[in-house]
Amino acid sequence: MITYLFDFDGTIYDGDSSIDFFLFCLKKNKKIMLNIPKIILAIVLYKIKIINKTKMKEVYFSFLKKIKDIDILVEEFWNQNDHKIKKFFLQRKRNKDIIISASPYFLLSPISKKYNVKDLIASNVDKNTGKFLEENCLGKKKVEFLFKKYPKIKIKEMYSDSLKDGPLLELADKGYIVIKEDIYPYGSSIRKTLKKKKIINMYNDNQEIINYIIVGILTVIINLIIKWSLLFTIFDANNSFQLQTSVVLSWIGAVVFAYIANRIIVFKSKNKKVFKEIISFLSSRILTLLVEMGIMWFLFTLLQFEGDMVVLIWTILVQIIVIILNYIFSKLFVFKK
What is the predicted pLDDT for the residue at 146?
Answer: 95
Task: Return the axis-axis angle of helices 36-47 and 53-60, rounded to nearest 10°.
Answer: 170
Residue-wise pLDDT for 255-264, tens only, equals 999 999 999 9
Contact 132, 123 (CB under 8 A): yes
Distance between CA 111 and CA 180 in Å, rounded? 19
* Strand (E) or helix (H) holding 152: none
Predicted TM-score of the model (pTM) = 0.65
Helix, strand, coil in percent for the chain, rounding step 5: 65, 10, 25
**pLDDT at residue 308 in the model:** 67
In angstroms, rounded to a whole number, what is the distance separating the alpha carbons of residues 146 and 164?
Answer: 16
**What pLDDT, on a 0 to 100 scale, did the predictor assign at position 47?**
81
pLDDT along the chain (337 residues), means of 10: 93 94 91 87 84 93 93 96 94 91 96 94 95 92 94 94 88 90 78 60 70 88 87 80 83 91 90 90 89 80 73 76 87 81
Is the alpha carbon torsion for 236, 239, 243, 245 positive or negative? Answer: negative
Q: Which residues pair with 104 in a beta bridge?
A: 123
Which one, of 200, 204, 250, 194, lies nearest residue 223 by Cα?
250
- Residue 246, Cα to own-chain centre: how many angstroms? 36
Q: In this structure, what DSSP letter does residue 4 have?
A: E
What's at 264, amino acid-wise?
I
Q: Are 221 and 215 in contact (CB under 8 A)?
A: no
The dihedral sign for the CA sequence 66, 67, 68, 71: negative
Angle at 253 between CA 251 and CA 257, to 5 degrees: 115
In the chain, what is the greatest distance between 2 CA atoms, to the nearest angstrom?
80
> For the domain bounded by 2-204, which CATH number is listed?
3.40.50.1000
Distance CA 280, CA 8 (A): 37
Distance of CA 136 to the CA centre of its chain: 18
Would you put residue 212 in left (φ > 0), alpha (ψ -120 to 50) or beta?
alpha
